[in-house]
Amino acid sequence: MTSYSESSAINNSAFNYLDLSKGGSPQRFKDYLDGKIKSDDTKYYREGSLVHLALLEAHKLVVADIIRPIDSITGVVDDVFESVMQATDEFTEVGELADYEQEINTAMTNKAYQTNWLLATRLAKVLELGKEYFKFLKRCTTETVLTTKEYALILACAASVRVDRFAKKLMLDSELGKGMEALNEQEIYFNISLPSEIKIPCKAKLDRLLLNHARKTFAVVDLKTTGKSVLDFPKSFFEYDYDRQIAFYAKAAKSLYPDYSLSGCYFVVVEKQGEFRTRAFTVDRKTIKHGLDKINKLLATYATCLSTGSFVYEPGYDDFYVIDLSMDRETALQEMGIDPYRQFYMGRKQTHKEEKEKQIK
């Protein structure tokens, strides 16, 4: 069975390939769907997932007992390990680094490792300095292995969540009420239908899904770590389109429990430095709807491109006009929820049309 990370279904982050404000375009989104663009954004969620694991099953966290080799060695060994894993099925046991001389030679060539040394010398040095690191990589396939620094950070974040009176009610199983159930790291696969009746396969991995079976409701909880003050999160919320993310998660949860209604969406945010403060945030229904509108607007653009067969940078763009760069005007329109660029094009086109009509009269 294909793992979540290997699934070709789109997650919330994939919408950035379609969002013009994020440097995306319909063509980039199409390339992503066609597999021409590979994206691995798991690194952005690693810390949050580790804090979640520390809250639920801290015994699964293991501290690394090795010192990371120099970059030139880790680069070679990383390549070797990746090559070995790609050629190894679930029934084959991965050996020791010394068992893969051919892969080491290929990696050394690709990384241009000490090209002025004899081949035997280069090989001996990689085996000497990289064998323990190779064992460490093997261990990481079955355990969650952290550096000492990472381990201390994760434990500090988890401890902060446990003592915050609001966050702990959302994150700890011990705080669940009667008739409640919590699903952690829940993977959900579902479809979003375009107006053209084309279905786009989607996927979401929810940190925590709270179910109230008595009331037949569900709540979505997302855990985030931040290098900023938790008090800055409201600004980050809109800057990084977290309204779209939480709306996408709510849509995924609804597909899994169609007979249940949404009772709430929450973010638990913990600082990963300084005082390690934790704060819980709730998202109102108006904001969730705004996030859904963003998704629908992006997909409507893509649907238009599919129907016309044209994946231009911006559908409807008229290069007869230039873009108004008035900062005051742009800010005012954005505060009203109006796309200043689209409004400009439409306004200029309408004016142009009126002028034409006057000439005819």
What parts of the chain have a pLDDT lower than 70?
Answer: 1-2, 39-45, 90-91, 313-361
Tally of structural domains, the chain: 3
Where is the domain boundary, 109, 144, 179?
Answer: 144
Residue 16, in any domain of the structure: no
| 95 and 190 share one domain | no
Q: Hey, how many other C-beta atoms are within 10 angstroms of the C-beta on 29?
A: 25
Q: Which domain holds residue 349?
A: 318-360
| 88 and 102 share one domain | yes
262 strand-pairing partners: 218
| 188 and 272 share one domain | yes
Instruction: List Cβ neighbours of 83 (8 Å cut-off, separation of 6 or more).
Output: 100, 103, 106, 107
Residue 243, in any domain of the structure: yes
192-231 pLDDT, tens digit per residue, is 988 777 888 899 999 999 999 999 999 999 999 999 999 9
Token readout for 84 is 């070995």
| 136 and 154 share one domain | no
CB-based contact 227:163 (threshold 8 Å): no
Residue 15, in any domain of the structure: no
Measured on CA atoms in the order 326, 328, 333, 335, is the torsion positive or negative?
Answer: positive
Report how far residue 302's alpha carbon sits from residue 135's, in angstroms, rounded to the nearest whole number. 46
Report how far residue 123's alpha carbon sits from residue 93's, in angstroms, rounded to the nearest whole number. 23
Report how far residue 347's alpha carbon sits from residue 236's, in angstroms, rounded to the nearest whole number. 32
Residue 314 pLDDT: 63
Residue 12, in any domain of the structure: no
Residue 270, in any domain of the structure: yes
Token readout for 170 is 């959302």
Look up the pTM and report it.
0.72
Contacts 24+ apart (CB under 8 A), 129-134: 129/69, 129/70, 129/73, 130/69, 130/73, 130/74, 130/76, 130/77, 130/97, 131/96, 131/97, 131/98, 132/66, 133/66, 133/68, 133/69, 133/73, 133/74, 133/77, 134/77, 134/80, 134/81, 134/96, 134/97
Residue 349 pLDDT: 45
Where is the domain boundary, 104, 127, 144?
Answer: 144
Percent of the chain as helix, strand, coil, to the nearest 5? 55, 15, 30
Residue 105, in any domain of the structure: yes
| 264 and 335 share one domain | no
Residue 326 pLDDT: 57
Q: Hey, how many other C-beta atoms are within 10 angstroms of the C-beta on 68?
A: 12
Residue 32, in any domain of the structure: no
Contacts 24+ apart (CB under 8 A), 15-23: 15/241, 15/244, 15/248, 15/294, 15/295, 15/298, 18/298, 18/299, 18/301, 18/302, 19/241, 19/298, 20/313, 20/314, 22/241
| 50 and 185 share one domain | yes
Contacts 24+ apart (CB under 8 A), 171-175: 171/52, 171/55, 171/208, 171/221, 171/223, 171/268, 172/55, 173/56
Where is the domain boundary, 110, 144, 178?
Answer: 144
| 279 and 199 share one domain | yes
| 323 and 230 share one domain | no
| 217 and 336 share one domain | no
Residue 343 pLDDT: 45
| 184 and 158 share one domain | yes
237 closest CA partner among 184, 170, 284: 284
CATH number at residue 281: 3.90.320.10
| 255 and 235 share one domain | yes
Residue 88, in any domain of the structure: yes
| 193 and 129 share one domain | no
